[in-house]
Amino acid sequence: MRNHDSQFLKRFSIVIAFLAVITIGLIIFAAFLQGAIPTEPSPLAVERTNQRIAPAGAVYAGSTGAAAQAAAAVAAAARAAAAGGAYGGTLDGGEIFDKLCTACHLTGVGLAPTLDHSHWDKRIAQGADTLYKHAIEGYTGPDGGVMPPKGGNAGLSEAQIHAAVDWMLANLK
C-alpha cells in the first residue's frame, strides 16, 4: 500500500468517526427534546383535531347497525326539535309549501301529485291521517312516486307537516 493511500484511509476514518459522533449527538438531542415536549396536547387541540377528522357519515350493518341507525335517527330528531323547528317554527302551511314543497308538487318531480283534484281525489279518500303519515314518515307509491320523510327537511315538526298538507288540500284546483 502506498503512502497516499494510507493517508486517505486515515483522513477518511477521521471524517467517518466525526460524522458518527455528530449522529450520536443528534440522536441524544432528539431523545432529550422528546422528553421535554408534553406527551398530551391541550384538550382544545384534541377537540379541534377530532372535529376535523370526524366522519361525514356512517355505515350501518347487521343488528348492531340497525340499533346504531335508530340511535342516530333519534339524535337527529332531538337536534331538529331543539332547533325550534324549520322556518322559524311557522305553522303557515302556505309559507312551508312555498319554501319546501313547490319543487316537487308544482312540477310533478318524483311523480309527486300536483295541486289538482285529478291527482288528489284517491289520496283524499284514504283520509287525512294517511296523508299526514305519508308526509311525515315518507312514502313510495305503487307507481314509483316518492315522498321523502318530512319533505326532505327533518327540522319540520309534525304540526308544520299537518299545516302544509292542510294548505295543499285547501288549495287544490
141's grid cell: 307509491
* Residue 104 near residue 110 (C-beta atoms within 8 A): yes
Residue 108 is assigned to a structural domain of this protein: yes
Query: Could you tell me if 27 and 95 lie in one domain?
Result: no
- Give the range of the structural domain holding residue 20, as residue numbers without chain letter: 3-50
Determine, yes or no, domain membership for 58: no
Q: Is residue 78 part of a domain?
A: no
Tell me how far apart the alpha carbons of residues 110 and 140 are, in angstroms, rounded to a whole number: 10
- Please state, for a pLDDT cut of 90, what percent of the chain lies above it: 14
Q: Give the number of domains in the chain.
A: 2
Q: Structure pTM?
A: 0.51
Model confidence pLDDT, tens digit, residues 100-138: 888 888 888 888 888 888 888 888 888 888 888 888 888
CA dihedral of 67, 73, 79, 81, whole degrees rounded to 10: -120
**Is position 157 within any domain?**
yes
Angle of helix 117-125 versus helix 128-137 axis, rounded to 10 = 100
CATH number at residue 121: 1.10.760.10
